[in-house]
Structure 1
Amino acid sequence: MPAEPQKLLYAIERELKALSWWESAPPSARALASTEPFCLDTLSFAQWLQFVLLPRMQAMIDAGAPLPNRISLYPMATETFKSLPEDTGALVEAIARLDEALSGQPVRREA
């Protein structure tokens, strides 16, 4: 089990909970079946993280499957969260670190 991605998935979960964005009930099967990137038409980005990214990544880790190495969630996170009143810095940083861990490339952080 890759320790770093696992740790970063937990960090994303922890930050979603700290922001009170963690939801107890999943979205409908129809919402989850969206074919748009990030289920943009049916879910918020925070919902997509919780109900799509985290479970899929965890399933891959549990199965010993190779993890994606071409991933770029940071731009979507910065764009989505930039105008929100909540302090999303720790969540965005955890997402940036996940991108870096999986892609092996540094993420250019916004100033």
Structure 2
Amino acid sequence: MRKTFQLHIDGKHPDRVLDATKHAIRKYLRRERGRPLPEGADHWAFDCKLGPNQESAVEVPVGALIQRVDALAREGATHFYLEILARAGHWQAPPAKDAPAPDEGA
């Protein structure tokens, strides 16, 4: 999804427009997560960018996406650019705390 969302539309309450925008984002993520995974993948990962326009958009973790949209709305933004790209991912366990780092071994 690559889209510029309007937050102020004449004749519509800004809070309802914000709610509809957040609903559209969640709906897109839910739809993408429901797609069948390619072989060898165990989840969908998302690369997200958010900003006032396409040129100034910065990477945002998918878990912080809605909070950042709320922050933009509180700051008085009239629109924002959002890019969400889904990719197949493979979960990897974090390294154990007791084990030495790969470059520390003897």
> What's the TM-score once normalised by structure 2's chain length?
0.34
Q: Greater relative contact order: 1 or 2 (C-alpha under 8 angstroms, separation 6 or more)?
A: 2
> What's the TM-score once normalised by structure 1's chain length?
0.32
Higher percent of residues as strand: 2
Higher percent of residues as helix: 1
